[in-house]
Amino acid sequence: MARPELEALARFATGVGRRYMMLLSVVLGRLDVVLDGLPEHDPSRPDLAEAHAAAGQLSELTRMILATGRSSPLQPSIVDLADLLAGVASGIRPILPPTVDLVVDLTPQPSLAFVDAKQLEGGIAELVMNALEAMPNGGMLRLGTQRLEPRGRWPAATDLPTPAGLVAVIVADTGLGMAPRTRHRAEEPFFTTKPGRGVGLGLSAVRGFVEQSGGQFELRSRPGRGTAVRLVFPRSARRPGAR
């Protein structure tokens, strides 16, 4: 098979995989809530546990499909992050559980960056899935964009070259949050906060893509206060469609 065909197949697999992962995140999250609320000897627990295990295995298989898509070379172009995030929000809104409120906060001005749009969408999907799993009893999911000056609110962002400033994508939740020890390990490739039931957070892959794109990955989390992830990129002065 010619290389262009392989790359097309990888991108198709990535698109399908992201949709599956979104749906599976909802299924696994609801099963978690039900299992956590059942008495230990409830007769329905074995069947629900088996369903949870099967969904977890399917989730792991889907992550393998996504890894295949991520292994293809990046194809960056000038992307308006606000437009991209608006599209992601429209896609996930119908599948969110009723206990989760979606808040979308986008900059009115163009937030342009030179990135691979499909890979960025996949990274945002990973972050959204983690956020949903961190809110088993509901909460608020926030998707947003920012335009930042070189000396922004998060000092780490000043490490980037910023002739035109910075632009960022934010995915935040009001979920369980992470203790410092958990936060320290969160970006390990196979680390999960649910041993025996989790399938990994996927943060290492997201961080790898962001840094490969010349950007910076930033994570903040506190127990009981939720988690916020920010993907920061140098702002582009060129227009969408340019390469």
CA distance 190 to 159: 28
pLDDT (0 to 100) of residue 1: 39
**In whole angstroms, what separates CA 93 from the centre of its chain?**
15
pLDDT (0 to 100) of residue 2: 42
pLDDT (0 to 100) of residue 122: 83
pLDDT (0 to 100) of residue 102: 95
CA distance 165 to 78: 15
pLDDT averages per 10-residue partition of the chain, 243 residues: 48 63 75 83 87 77 59 79 93 86 92 89 86 89 86 47 76 90 64 48 78 89 91 79 50
pLDDT (0 to 100) of residue 5: 45
Domains and CATH numbers, the chain: 3-234 (3.30.565.10)
Asked if 232 and 160 touch (Cβ cutoff 8 Å), the reply is: yes
Distinct helix (H) and strand (E) counts, the chain: 6, 7
pLDDT (0 to 100) of residue 67: 57
| Residues near 165 by beta carbon (within 8 Å), at least 6 away in sequence | 147, 148, 149, 150, 235
pLDDT (0 to 100) of residue 203: 79
CA-based end-to-end distance of the chain: 27
pTM above 0.85, yes or no: no
pLDDT (0 to 100) of residue 168: 93
| Residues near 97 by beta carbon (within 8 Å), at least 6 away in sequence | 26, 29, 30, 132, 138
